[in-house]
């Protein structure tokens, strides 16, 4: 199972909407922008892509468009997780058939399974679909943490479970994952603000929200670290930090989509229950975009 290609700056891409429907034309332009800026991978239908409010048909179409538009230039890691094991298998089978390079599997949300339940869920998907699987651990959204011991058991028992997007916010937990899992198990940052610290403990990259608008800077920061140019990596980390923080002043992807609308990248439309930003938060976002040099006004 080739793992080396799943590394670096991987964008968790937004799904643009126009008049309530997926805006395929804008979406293809966003993918071209990511390719031009040198992103190392792309995740369609993740949290940032509003997967929770895409129909099955839209979900599958967004993955198909991504694979077509990328043209094999960078890996496509399709978000195909669900809180229903059978739905996750169905979506993952489609992604494999469409030509995705890997699947991102969020831990089941709302159900609050036990660690045994999490193990059986991911094992069932791994056995049903022969595709590299990256787990997605984000207890703040799902209500359940995948414990490092559970991850290690999955990594040892399922050859195609190759890594984790870690958004627990705990470097202690991430260090335990590195200690317990096989040496080639991929630790990928799920928090933009923690990318540099995670690289320092053996992480291989980030699945990034802020890379939707500044993919080149995220890519450079990871590349500087990999080349041992730590001062340059640190400088970019601190440059990016205010922008990263602005991406989370309201629930993701509200701020990043709003920023993309302000920057003319795509329409800022969201699907309920997500709504447009509060006026005071919009002003904060504009201020940060201006200070970064992105918004000229």
- Integer Cα distance of 240 and 57 in angstroms: 36
Judge whether 41 lies within some domain: yes
Q: What is the pLDDT of residues 183-242, one digit of tens each?
A: 999 999 999 999 999 999 999 999 999 999 999 999 999 999 999 999 999 999 999 999
CATH of the domain at 147: 3.20.20.70
Annotated catalytic sites, by residue? 136, 165
| pLDDT value of position 296 | 87
- pLDDT at 2 exceeding the cut of 70: no
Establish if 281 belongs to a structural domain: no
pLDDT of residue 4: 65
Q: Among 113-117, 138-142, 145-149, which stretch is predicted with the lowest mean pLDDT?
A: 138-142
Tell me if 237 is assigned to some domain: no
Q: Confirm whether 235 is domain-assigned.
A: no
| Residue 279, in any domain of the structure | no
In a domain, 89, yes or no: yes
Nearest one of 99, 104, 109 to 142, comparing CA atoms: 109
Decide if pLDDT at 1 tops 60. Answer: no
CA–CA separation, 96 and 24 (whole Å): 21
Whether residue 248 is contained in a domain is answered as no
Cis peptide before 253 (omega within 30 of 0): yes
Give this prediction's pTM: 0.96
Which distant-in-sequence residues (6+ apart) come within 8 Å of 123 by Cβ? 154, 157, 158
**152 domain residue, yes or no:** yes
Helix (H), strand (E), coil (C) string for the chain: CCCCCCCEEEEECCCCEECCEECHHHHHHHHHHHHHCCCCEEECCCCCCCHHHCCHHHHHHHHHHHHHHHCCCCCEEEECCCCCHHHHHHHHHHHHHHCCCEEEEECCCCCCCCHHHHHHHHHHHHHHCCCCEEEEECHHHHCCCCCHHHHHHHHHHCCCEEEEEECCCCHHHHHHHHHHCCCCCEEEECCHHHHHHHHHCCCCEEEECHHHCCHHHHHHHHHHHHCCCHHHHHHHHHHHHHHHHHCCCCCCCHHHHHHHHHCCCCCCCCCCCCCCCCHHHHHHHHHHHHHHCCCCC
For residue range 260-272, list pLDDT tens digits in order. Answer: 999 999 999 999 9
Q: Residue 138: what are its φ and ψ, rounded to 5°? A: -145, 75
**What domain range is 141 assigned to?**
8-229
Number of domains the chain contains: 1
């Amino acid at each position: 199972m080739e793992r080396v290609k799943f590394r670096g700056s991987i964008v968790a891409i937004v799904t643009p909407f126009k008049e309530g429907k997926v805006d395929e034309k804008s979406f293809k332009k966003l993918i071209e922008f990511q390719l031009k800026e040198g992103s190392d991978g792309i995740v369609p239908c993740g949290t940032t892509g509003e997967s929770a409010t895409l129909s099955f048909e839209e979900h599958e179409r967004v993955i198909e468009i991504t694979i077509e538009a990328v043209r094999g230039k960078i890996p496509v890691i399709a978000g195909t997780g669900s809180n229903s094991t059978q739905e996750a298998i169905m979506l993952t089978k489609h992604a494999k058939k469409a030509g995705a390079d890997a699947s991102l599997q969020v831990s089941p949300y709302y159900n609050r399974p036990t660690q045994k339940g999490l193990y059986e869920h991911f094992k069932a998907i791994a056995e049903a679909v022969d595709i590299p699987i990256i787990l997605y651990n984000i207890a703040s959204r799902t209500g359940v943490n995948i414990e490092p011991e559970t991850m290690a058991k999955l990594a040892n028992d399922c050859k195609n479970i190759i890594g984790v997007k870690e958004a627990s916010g705990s470097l202690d937990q991430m260090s335990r994952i590195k200690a317990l899992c096989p040496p080639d198990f991929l630790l990928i940052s799920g928090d933009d603000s923690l990318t540099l610290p995670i690289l320092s403990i053996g992480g291989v990259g980030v699945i990034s929200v802020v890379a939707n608008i500044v993919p080149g800077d995220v890519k450079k920061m990871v590349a500087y670290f990999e080349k041992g140019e730590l001062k340059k990596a640190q400088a970019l980390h601190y440059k990016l930090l205010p922008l990263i923080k602005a991406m989370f002043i309201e629930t993701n992807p509200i701020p990043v989509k709003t920023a993309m609308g302000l920057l003319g990248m795509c329409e800022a439309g969201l699907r309920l229950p997500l709504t447009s930003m509060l006026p005071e938060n919009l002003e904060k976002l504009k201020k940060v975009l201006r200070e970064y040099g992105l918004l000229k006004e």
